[in-house]
Structure 1
Amino acid sequence: MNILAALKEVPEFKNLAESHLVWLSEKGTVSTHKDGEKLFVLGQPIESMRIVLEGGVDLYRAQGNTMRYFGTAEKGEITGLLPYSRMKAAGAEGTAVGETIIYSLNKSHFVELIREHPELTEVLVHTMTDRVRDFTHQQQQDDKMMALGKLSAGLAHELNNPSAAIVRCAQELKRHLGNVPEKFKRVINIRATEDIVDQVNKFVDDKITAAVNQKPLSLMEKSEREDELADWLQNIGLEDTYETASIFVDFFIDTTDLDELNKILREEDRPAVLNWIAQAFTTERLVNEIEEAARRINVLVTSVKSYTHMDRAPERERAELRSGIRNTVTMLNHKIRKNQVTVIENIPDDLPQPCIYISAMNQVWTNLIDNALDALEGRPNGTLEIKAEKDREFILVHIIDNGPGIPEAIQDKIFDSFFTTKPVGKGTGLGLEVVRQIILQHNGKVTVKSQPGHTVFTVCIPIQ
């Protein structure tokens, strides 16, 4: 292959004097690779500038536990290490596409390149700037998608339990109501005065009302009461005694209560009346469970709406910080439970409402709280404290965790783009950079103080 002719075909080199390309052709080397050949792997030291002269290179980047395709370096594309670049190692894996020819210029020639060929150096620096901008944009998009994926997985998990409870309760209610006609025939045969009917109704209403404030029974207490009630119910000829006893125990009915009912009922009416009472309690319990499950779903949906602020235009407005923080905690509740973290909120009721971009600030809380939860993963007695206070014309919000801490040597780097302490594929190094940019947009400041067992991120934003 004529290297000089191939270099002239590189789009970035179109307007360069031929002398620069002659120098490149003399100093560099060319290698040929078969289709599917691995050219470099993740973490491999990068010591050369590379130009694809023929074929292409598929690039795969770590995401989670897999390698995900994110692009192809095609013919004429400049890759690898460039002058003034701080790149140390490959951030991806590269595989040859078809028969691929690669031009390489070792970094040992960069000093001469910068000194003797400033025009060529300028072209390469511009190429590096464009590459960093494109890569940053792609990383930001990936970071947002990863965050969205984690939130979506958490929401799906949170919604699954109450939605499953609604289905289960609805099926049970349907089965329960299917027995009503048979029980109704027994009820209409009851001979009771209006006073007796009123007493039975009052008994049911009082028990339903009282059950709300009762302390739940232990499993042993509940089992003992069920056995006692089942024996009592069996003695008066009731069917399904254990099922009925279980329902009665849920509403804190004991044999003393049933003895009182016996005094006002005819012996032949007792089974029908007790069945009707059990039916009323069962319906009440199932409806309450459906209501509670639906309420939990409503809370989640409301939190999502408030978190994304999707019904408002993106403009500054007065907002209560506690609401945004609580919505964020709701979004991350699955992770809090998974890591067995205790969350402590210390936000005063009279905290002033700053003028903020609500959705943007929710991104701040998400990144900081999510990072704290990652730090607490696998640690016993993990605690996350969220504290806010007014300081003159500013509001300070502190996100505090008792995780392992951030080494002092890197504390001044954690807000830099692409700097991350997380394993490859788990962190992109953009989360705290996004936090810093959003806080700067609010004319504020974010700082960190950390030592083992105590890390504090402090967000400072003006009230006005």
Structure 2
Amino acid sequence: MTTVTADWLQTVDALKEVPVSQLQWFIDNSEHHHYPVGSTWFKAGDAVPGTHIVISGRAKLYLQQHNDMVELMTLEPQSITGYLPFSRMTKAAASCEIMEDMQVLTFPREKIDDLIHQHFELTQALVHVMTSRVRDFTSLQQQSEKMMALGKLSAGLTHELNNPASAVLRGARSLKQHLQLVPDVFKALMNLQLTEAQVDAINCIMFEVIHQGPPPPMGMLERSDKTDELLDILDKYKVENAMDIAENMVDFGFSEVHIEQFRKHIADKAVSPVLNWINTNLVTEKMVTDIEEAASRISKLVDSVKSFTHMDQGQDKSWIDIHTGLQSTLNMLEYKLRKGNIEVTRNFDTSLPQVSAFAGELNQVWTNIIDNAIDAMEPNGKGHLTVTTAMDGKCLAVKITDNGPGISPEIKDKIFDPFFTTKDIGKGTGMGLDIVAQIIRHHRGHQKVNSEPGNTTFTVLLPLHD
């Protein structure tokens, strides 16, 4: 075993400024322990006996979740852990397994008062260790939760971006092939030698219908009847590609009345070439519209990502419309909502004033709560999510309600505790709602939850003024 001296303790970075006399007092009042490899040092829930300094060996801290072990960190030589001055820790939050034979110096908790009253520099050093531990641990867990949330969002976002991107690619390729056929149709039209007045009349009728926009959605039977009506009149004038033309014209809202309007300005022999040229324009219009809609969908998703991460603004508080973040979050989770067959109702009071907030942090709050609601409704195969904004006294209230099975009374008081989760391994760290609570406290607000089977509501209250 390593002989522990005051000089050795001064090699520990946190203790290097502590007087030798205080370190020797610490050694004299401490206990030496040896733990063999493969043994368990302590388990989550065990009482913490005192302050530990690892002299040699290694151990790993881990959490047990659904029979799986989630590793948190590794204790190396010179690590300081356990109870520290002014800490509120009474029980271990995690378990510890010895990876290499370990020698530990343990200062008993019963003597902490003597330490605090008699040895200022040593107390100060250990308090600094505690604050650093809290800061590093909180940062680590927040980053872990952010990465898990990002993983959830990225899967759906990838799918959502892939669909319109593929649509743009398909549309571009189809449009390229279609445009190669246009010269033949145009040549047939030129051979008719139409007058300028005839061309203007045809264009006027065609674009008047196009600019009206597509007709209301039709059932299969109604659409079939309208197509047959157009086919009858197209066959009357012996129009080539009649079926293709009829189907496209129905999509744009053309009827037999428009065919007769075209007919008034051209001879019978010109009807087929003219309608084929019009059909070419309709096909082009349809392809360009599909590409535009797909590109618009991509743009909407990119805007949602930008708004969600708030990457174009600084890290300071700013006055924000709460609905922007809520809508961006719903956009980001749209794939998961659609996959879960979840209907969303937005009861937004858009007249609410802006709030001073860290927009990116609040988006993390909405993501965690809504994602939990989606997971809760998953077993039903469908669900209803309601997001409501309203005034509540001097606070702005955001209520997120789901019709899942509810939260049992046994765990309701634990859901905001660190590491508490009912999700399977890999689906949750148990830090999501703890981080929600931290962020809300950061905004000087508070949260509450009411739950019964079929109706669970998380309410976030944010003060309107700093």
TM > 0.5 = yes
Match of 1:443 in 2: 444
Q: Secondary structure at the match of 2:281?
A: helix
Listed as ranges, the matches of 1:94-133 within 5 Å are 96=99, 100-103=100-103, 113-115=108-110, 131=133, 133=135
Match of 1:278 in 2: 279
TM-score (norm 1): 0.79
TM-score (norm 2): 0.79
Offset, 1:278: 0.2
Match of 1:207 in 2: 209
CA contact (8 A) 2:62 2:73 kept: yes
Offset, 1:59: 7.0
> Structure 2: how far apart are the matches of 1:428 and 1:328?
20
Match of 2:391 in 1: 390
AA partner of residue 144 (structure 1): K
Asked if residue 169 in structure 1 is aligned to residue 174 in structure 2, the reply is no
Q: 1:223 to 1:328 in 2, by over 3 A?
A: same
Q: 1:103 to 1:227 in 2, by over 3 A?
A: farther
CA contact (8 A) 1:56 1:73 kept: yes
- CA-to-aligned-CA distance 1:402-436 (integer Å, 9 cap, x gap): 22222233333333333333333322232223222
* Bigger Cα displacement from structure 2, 120-129 vs 376-385: 120-129
Match of 2:92 in 1: 87
Q: Secondary structure at the match of 1:179?
A: helix
Match of 2:199 in 1: 197
CA contact (8 A) 1:165 1:293 kept: yes
Match of 1:146 in 2: 148
AA partner of residue 404 (structure 2): G
Asked if residue 365 in structure 1 is aligned to residue 366 in structure 2, the reply is yes
CA contact (8 A) 1:403 1:455 kept: yes
Listed as ranges, the matches of 1:14-93 within 5 Å are 16-17=23-24, 24-25=31-32, 28-32=33-37, 56-57=58-59, 72-75=74-77, 77=79, 85-87=90-92, 90=95
CA contact (8 A) 2:417 2:434 kept: yes
Offset, 1:349: 3.1
Listed as ranges, the matches of 1:268-347 within 5 Å are 268-347=269-348
Match of 1:374 in 2: 375
Q: 1:354 to 1:125 in 2, by over 3 A?
A: closer
CA RMSD in angstroms, aligned pairs only: 4.1
Offset, 1:377: 1.9
CA contact (8 A) 2:55 2:104 kept: no
CA contact (8 A) 1:48 1:104 kept: no
Match of 2:187 in 1: 185
Identical columns (%): 40
Match of 1:36 in 2: none
Q: 1:432 to 1:397 in 2, by over 3 A?
A: same
AA partner of residue 102 (structure 2): I
Match of 2:223 in 1: 222
Unaligned runs of 5+ in 1: 34-38
AA partner of residue 373 (structure 2): A
Match of 1:431 in 2: 432
Q: 1:95 to 1:24 in 2, by over 3 A?
A: closer
> Structure 1: how far apart are the matches of 2:69 and 2:272?
67
CA contact (8 A) 2:416 2:433 kept: yes
Unaligned runs of 5+ in 2: 117-122
* Corresponding pairs, count: 445
Q: 1:238 to 1:328 in 2, by over 3 A?
A: same
> Structure 1: how far apart are the matches of 2:219 and 2:45?
62
> Structure 1: how far apart are the matches of 2:113 and 2:393?
53
Q: Secondary structure at the match of 2:276?
A: helix
